[in-house]
Structure 1
Amino acid sequence: MKLILSVEPVRFPLTGIGRYTFELASRLEQSGQISDLRFFAGRRFLPGVPTAASESSPGHGLKRAVQKSALAIEAYRLLMPHLRKHALKGHADFIYHSPNYYLPPFAGRSVATFHDLSPFTWSHCHAPQMARYLQKELRTTLDRADVLITDSQYTRQELAAYFAWPLERIHAVPLASSPEFHPRSPDALRTVLERHGLQAGGYSLFVGTIEPRKNIEVLLDAYSQLPLSLRQRWPLILTGYHGWRSEAIHQRIEQATQQGWARYLGFVASEDLPLLYAGARLFAFPSLYEGFGLPVLEAMSSGVPVVCSNSSSLPEVAGAAALMCDPNDADGLAALLLQGLEDETWRVAAVEQGLRHAAGFSWERCTQDTIDVYRTLQEG
């Protein structure tokens, strides 16, 4: 089996899609089922799996500036497919896999991973020029793809219904948490947590892009209902990349910071993130919409109890191991946060159940299931 894998998402900031791409690429490289594996990014082949930088580069700042220009985005959208088509010429006997929606013109068989449908179903949560770009590109991908992969059964069903795509050509392949997410002793956590001004078991945690879809303002509403002494004992710590329309959210976080019960750490380096998880007393993730919700699984793998919303794919990912409520129910969320922080009987059971549940997901399984999808193309 000959495969070209796009590894473009493995870059700063390393989001969930970047992590998925890196884990998949690393394991495909070790698989004896792939006879010829090539990594592709931009318009060139790479010698190996790239690693994401922990800090932004000057090029990243330029990219962010370009993304704000509708004209620049459209020029990029029209030009890049031609450059990529030229670079991929002569590889029609390969399967091409894009782990991040976009498929360039390609003479061989191709598969794309759709992580969610937010550019269509939650377009108001994207910058307008980016939403238009994504919608055009994703519709083009649907025309080019032979089969599609989703992270969850929820997104598989959503994708089939929204675009009237044949369900049998869409394969749900669950993600997993990486090996570095595991329980750790207070001694193992001390150095990293002290660098961030934290103590093991001394805070609640949210991890995710700071954007409206993550429902952070409702989380702040709910947390503000807890007794002040409890909020100050276990402040809400937030980390994640600045997303679109995040100004109002940051203002709310700053108000809570001044009151002594919340703090935003910015985008934490990937080597610190597993320790930040493992040191939390509680993980809170009331997102409005997720194609998978990897942070929930990462928290469970770290031995941390989870409170999350019951929206979209999250029940599928969290199973029975988390406390869940409607994402718009601030009162209900406050009650669950209180239970998650204070109910020791539930906490002990939730840690054990969460570890057991998360162990049912693995990148090895994700990789093998993905290879099985490639095989359907090879045999088709």
Structure 2
Amino acid sequence: MNIYINARFLTQSVTGVQRYAIELVKHWDQLLEESRDDREQFSITLLAPRKIIHKLELKHIKVKQTGTFGGHPWEQLVLPYYARKGLLINLCNTGPLLMRNQIVTIHDMAVFEYPKSYSFLFRNAYKIIQKALGIRALRIMTVSKFSKSQLMAHCRIKENKISVVELGKEHMQRLEPDREWLNHHQLAKQNYLLAVSSMNPSKNFSNIVRAIEMLEGVDYQIVIAGGTNGKVFSAAGLPHSDKVKLLGYVTDRQLKALYEGAACFLFPSIYEGFGLPPLEAMTCGTPVIVSRSASLPEVCGEATIYCNPNDPTDIASKISQVMKDTHLRQSLSVKGLERASGFSWEKCARQSWDVVKEVVQA
């Protein structure tokens, strides 16, 4: 049985979606190492455009680069030709519209819920693609019960066609933190609040800054990582704050150092299909404040402090509550580590591989 994986993600920068795809493929390769029966039954190939930027060390999954161009045209025109004699697995929200023999992971319905976060062409293209795949694909995988309910509401996908497979956290455990970089930025351990935010409106950057402006006489630093450069405060319509140390883009090793050194992690996002950053923070033992929105309560359970993402006053209050109470932070750290232990890429891989085999055997 030929199984092909849409590996367009190997040409893209890593966000949560690409992280999921990379970790899943690596752990599927490990499952094949453990199962001779699966190795004999399935031939698995990553189909990718020519210009890949991530190279995975795999023993049992082949990589084949195809076509002369990339992006959506490659995915819609080249990919289905090379995958025509097998089952195609798409892990990053999209797939070729002309194929039926495929499985698709759709992580969220952000283009439906928060269309203003995306360009006109992007959001409308994704709406068409995701609705069509919901109808044509043999099975849909998603990352939370919340996202499953969204898929059913926006794309009218039948409940029994959707499988929920949660993400993992071992990628954060494997990283060696870049503590020298932390020292370079003069960030003392346990003496700063950390937030990770992009300019996507659903990440709630504006209310993070408004909440921070309400904090008076704080004796700790406030650090925001993320975005494409250090000029995000000057973007139109966003508040400015002299209280914030803005780091811009950080590497994975730098991010782990930030998590481990922070007294608290703040993530008041309005919309998340899963919410990987809070899970990463809990994995590092960092106390977490998140919004009681979308999938975040499903992921974080009782291991965090919740805030109202639409109320900067409440966000500021929760920051003060956590930062002033050492015992609360210690309790949240223990609860977060325990909560994070229930998530793993190995479990994600086994559950999703079971979905693949169910489709093959149907």
- Using structure 2 for the length normalisation, give the TM-score: 0.86
How much does 1:339 deviate? 1.1
CA deviations over 1:27-58 (Å, ceiling 9, x no partner): 1111124532211223799996389xxxxxxx
Question: Which amino acid letter does the alignment assign opposite residue 226 of structure 2?
Answer: G
**Aligned-pair CA distance for 1:348:** 0.9
Q: 1:39 aligns with which of 43, 46, 52?
A: 46
Is the 2:168–2:343 Cα contact (8 Å) retained in structure 1? Answer: yes
Match of 1:26 in 2: 26
Match of 1:218 among 183, 187, 207: 207
Task: Name 2:193's counterpart in structure 1.
Answer: 204
1:43–1:83 contact (8 Å) kept in structure 2:
no
Q: Determine the structure 1 residue equivalent to 2:64.
A: none
Contact 2:260 2:284 in 1 (8 A): yes
Question: Contact conserved, 1:182 with 1:278, CA < 8 A, in 2?
Answer: no
Structure 1 letter corresponding to 2:193 = S
In 1, the alpha carbon distance for the partners of 2:334 and 2:130 equals: 40
Gaps of 5+ in 1: 52-62, 64-75
SS in 1 for 2:47: strand
Q: Equivalent residue for 2:154?
A: 162
Q: Output the CA distance in 1 between the equivalents of 2:199 and 2:265.
A: 16
CA distance in 2, matches of 1:174, 1:22: 15
CA spacing shift, 1:297–1:145, aligned 2, 3 Å: same
* Counterpart secondary structure, 1:156: helix
Q: Name the SS for the 1:357 alignment partner.
A: helix
The 3-state SS of whatever aligns with 1:37 is strand
C-alpha deviation, 1:106, in angstroms:
6.3
- Asked whether 1:100 is paired with 2:92, we answer yes
Deviations 1:274-294 (A, max 9, x none): 112111111000001000000
Which residue does the alignment assign to 1:280?
A: 262
Equivalent AA in structure 2 for residue 83 of structure 1 = V
Structure 1 residues 7, 204: CA separation in 2 closer, same or farther (over 3 Å shift)?
farther
Aligned to 2:221: 235
Shift in Å at residue 328 of structure 1? Answer: 0.4
Q: Distance in 1 between matches of 2:115 and 2:298?
A: 23
Give the direction of change, closer, same or farther, for the CA distance of 1:321–1:10 in structure 2 (3 Å limit): farther
Q: Which amino acid aligns with 1:141?
A: L
Name 2:246's counterpart in structure 1.
Answer: 264
Evaluate the alpha carbon distance shift between residue 237 and residue 182 of structure 1 in structure 2; reply closer, same or farther with a 3 A threshold.
farther
Which residue number corresponds to residue 82 of structure 1? 77
Correspondence 1:146-185 to 2 at 5 A: 146-181=138-173
RMSD of aligned alpha carbons: 2.9
Task: Letter of the 1:221 partner, please give it.
Answer: R
Give the letter aligned to residue 275 of structure 1: A
Q: Which residue in 1 is equivalent to 2:62?
A: none
Aligned partners of 1:287 and 1:309 also within 8 Å: yes
User: Distance in 1 between the 2:339 and 2:54 partners?
Assistant: 37
Q: 1:81 to 1:323 in 2, by over 3 A?
A: same
1:346 and 2:328 correspond? yes
Query: In 1, are the aligned partners of 2:197 and 2:205 still within 8 Å (CA)?
Result: no
Unaligned runs of 5+ in 2: 33-37, 59-69
Counterpart amino acid of residue 301 in structure 1? T
Alpha carbons of structure 1 residues 303 and 36: separation in structure 2 relative to 1, 3 Å: same
Call closer, same or farther: CA 1:293–1:364 in 2, change over 3 Å: same
Identity %: 27
Match of 1:296 in 2: 278
Q: Deviations over 1:108-162 (max 9, x none)?
A: 7311111110111111111222112212222232233111011100110111122
TM-score when normalising by structure 1: 0.82
- Hey, what does 1:377 align to over in structure 2? 359
Counterparts in 2 of 1:152 and 1:344: CA distance versus 1, 3 Å: same
Task: Provide the aligned length of Structure 1 versus Structure 2.
Answer: 343
Is 1:5–1:37's contact at 8 Å kept on the other side of the alignment?
yes
- 1:358 CA drift (Å): 0.3
SS of 1:289's equivalent in the other structure is coil
Which residue of 110, 114, 128 corresponds with 2:102?
A: 110
Cα distance in 1 for partners of 2:139, 2:15 equals 24
